[in-house]
Each structure stands twice: as structure tokens, then as C-alpha cells.
Amino acid sequence: MSSSFKVKNIERDSTIEDVKYKAADGGIYFPIPSDLRIKENIKVVSDLNSSCDLIKKLKVKTFHYKQDSRFPKGERIGLIAQEVEKVIPSAVTKARIRRTNDDVSNIKMIEMDQLVMHLLATVQSLTKRIEELEKK
């Protein structure tokens, strides 16, 4: 079963119309543009340890959305955007979400692709450490 709703990214002034997602798990799935042709100032992340340090500061929590919200019911696991913003500001954005009859404005949302890149750098850093230890 799929549903749709509109997301207006307030800070970046871009609009994504009629996004399809799987409502059963409450997740919203956006493809992230990654084509070389639309990027500039590309740099290799040389300090992989810094990502590891950032990831260690994030606290995964369980929570329930408030009863009066239109968000998924039941216990969820995730992060709190305000807490993530203190550690990785680029991973948090504000958005207005319109679904059926409600309009929830200025909701802080986590840009998961930003976190995934830090997780990837963390895995690379830890893999390098393991390989160095195995050589000894």
C-alpha cells in the first residue's frame, strides 16, 4: 500500500511533489541525487576518525510520537533531530509536512544520507584500525 504527501523544504527552498513511500512502516524514502555532473568542490574525507567521534556522540533512543500527531503509532527507534543538530548540523533540516487535513510546520527532520556517510566513514576508519592491529 502506498500513500503520498508533499514536503516543502523551507531552508533550501526546494519542493518535492507527490513523494511515494511505504506507509506500513512509517518510513519516507527519497532517492538522493549523487551524479558527478551536479557536484563541485569535491574533496576526499581524509580524517575518517572525526566521523567516528561524531557518531559516538549520537544517542539512539526509543520513543512514541505524540497521540495527536499523524505520525506512525507504536514504539519507534531513532534519533532526536535537536540532539543530532548539536553534533552534525548538516544532517538536520526544517520542513513543512502536509498530509490530508493537517499542516505541520517547521518540523526538524534528519537527512539520513548525511548520517549514512558518517557511518560509512566510521566503518572505513574502524576497518583500517582492525587491519593495523592484525598486522602486529
Q: What is the CATH number of the domain that holds 71?
A: 1.10.10
Note whether residue 39 is domain-resident: no
pLDDT mean over 24-46: 75
User: Any idea of the CA torsion for 21, 70, 63, 80, to the nearest 10 degrees?
Assistant: 70
**Residue 104 falls inside a structural domain:** yes
* Cβ burial, residue 118 (10 Å; 0-12/13-18/19+): buried
Identify whether 40 is part of a domain. Answer: no
Domain that holds residue 21: 2-32+45-135
Number of domains in the chain: 1
The fraction of the chain above a pLDDT of 90, given in percent, is: 43
Assess if residue 24 is contained within a domain. Answer: yes
Residue 115 counted as domain residue: yes
- Indicate the pTM of the whole model: 0.70
In this prediction, residue 35 carries a pLDDT of: 87
Closest-CA residue to 83 (of 64, 66, 61): 61
Task: Examine residue 37 and state whether it is found in any structural domain, yes or no.
Answer: no
Say whether 3 sits in a helix, a strand or coil: strand
pLDDT digits (tens, 9 = 90+) for 49-102: 899 999 999 999 999 988 766 777 889 999 999 999 999 999 998 877 665 555
